[in-house]
Amino acid sequence: MLDLKLLQKEPEVVEKALADRNSDMKVADFQAIDERRRALLGEVEVLKSERNKASAEIAKIKREGGDASELMKNTGDLGDRIKKLDLETEEAKNALNDWMMRAPNIPHSSVPVGRSEDDNVEVSRWGEPPKFDFAPREHWDIGALGKLAGGGLDFERAGKLTGSRFNVSWGWAARLERALVNFFLDTQTGEHGYTEVLPPQIVNRKTMTGTGQLPKFEEDLFKLENWEYYLIPTAEVPLTNLHADEVLEEKDLPRAYAAQTACFRSEAGSYGKDTRGLIRQHQFTKVEMVRFAHPEKSYDDLELMRSHAESLLRRLELPYRVITLCTGDMGFGATKTYDLEVWLPGQNTYREISSCSNCGDFQARRANIRFRPANGGKPEFVHTLNGSGLPIGRTMVAIIENGQQADGSFRIPEALQPYMGGVKVIGLE
């Protein structure tokens, strides 16, 4: 949520931010609602003052034995008018809150201005895409059940159990998923200083609102019928809201949490995209990173979080590049986002595998997460950050495709072999 004072005192800043984000929202609409809200509040205040004076006068007349019936009638009419204005004021407040809840965050000054992913800026690359003396295949061809010894990816049975965009992992595929989860969590907690958390994977409306999924993106969520509960699209949602309505101590910042959860996404608007394989599924597993940072240090924390995601790709020997998202491609709640894109030989291109974002105080305002300065000053909003560290399915895709061999097998990266019981290659039947 944007700062109300910023909207009122520096509307031009917000207007530019909305234009840079290609948003159709207009600050003029906010100003019209806010002006009406203020006018109603002023009118109600005047009428309540008049009513208080009249009530005092009625009491005086009655003490003196006089007739206050006419004044009492006028006071009753005044009360009816106040009730009507109170309702109108509440409607104006709700309209103002709705506008603010739907307004995207303001991009950081370092974010490139652009309209789409074509305007994103490449920052760096690591690793060389592998060269093959055969035509590289896609992961669903390599890892399909029955092609490799002891397991595989089974989209057909998943379709029978549920529908499209689901998978059943058998044998080595299930073990590879578990190995990646353990490798990621061990690295994040043992080396990068994150505290492991296992949060609920069903949350309420307030929690979804706190991180910005609601009200704007309700169609992207899976909602439980007859409940105000939702399946989480990412562990960012419960992790960030762990400290909703709390005041942290400045000395405890930054706080860093990592969680492995299932994630559920309806993929609304993505029909026809990545309908095969593990790239875009309705249910997938991911290890998420969330940080609560001091406002003066949050962009340093963003660089740190990005390095934590990059280190996982490097250890897995997966070539990747880093992209700074432009204003038109950046997520709703972010002030700045880096995407890490891993090389996929089967598609002959880089695809997103991690997104690391600084949300500034945008989520903290919605969820009311503050910290108390060490000098005893007034509590301030923290800055929240989130990043993928990493999604299991897409990492499996990258491992299978980059490690593929001419005979149809694929290599397990050295860093992952201890988690796979020493297995170096997933071979043929």
Burial class (CB in 10 A: 0-12, 13-18, 19+), 29: exposed
Q: Out of 291, 370, 394, 401, which one is annotated catalytic?
A: 394
355 is catalytic: yes
Q: Out of 37, 255, 265, 366, which one is annotated catalytic?
A: 265
Contacts by 30-39, CB closer than 8 A, 24 or more apart: 30/96, 30/99, 30/100, 30/103, 33/92, 33/95, 33/96, 33/99, 34/7, 34/8, 34/96, 36/92, 37/89, 37/92, 37/93, 37/96
Q: Out of 50, 352, 409, 411, which one is annotated catalytic?
A: 352
Q: Out of 169, 298, 354, 355, which one is annotated catalytic?
A: 355
352 is catalytic: yes
Q: Which two three-digit tokens encode residue 71?
A: 């004044």
* Contact between 47 and 81 (Cβ < 8 Å): yes
CA–CA gap between residue 402 and residue 351 (Å, rounded): 13
Non-local (6+) Cβ contacts of 204 within 8 A are 228, 229, 230
* Contact between 39 and 46 (Cβ < 8 Å): no
164 is catalytic: no
Q: Out of 102, 125, 280, 351, which one is annotated catalytic?
A: 280
38 is catalytic: no
Q: How far is the CA of 171 from the CAs of 143, 152, 402, 418, in angstroms? A: 11, 7, 20, 17
Non-local (6+) Cβ contacts of 129 within 8 A are 319, 343, 345
Residues 309-340 as b or e (16 or more Cβ within 10 Å = b): bbebbeebbbbbbbbbbbbbbbebbbbbbbbb
Non-local (6+) Cβ contacts of 359 within 8 A are 105, 212, 333, 334, 335, 383, 384, 385, 386
Residues 237-250 as b or e (16 or more Cβ within 10 Å = b): bbbbbbbbeeebee
63 is catalytic: no
Residues belonging to the active site: 265, 280, 352, 355, 394
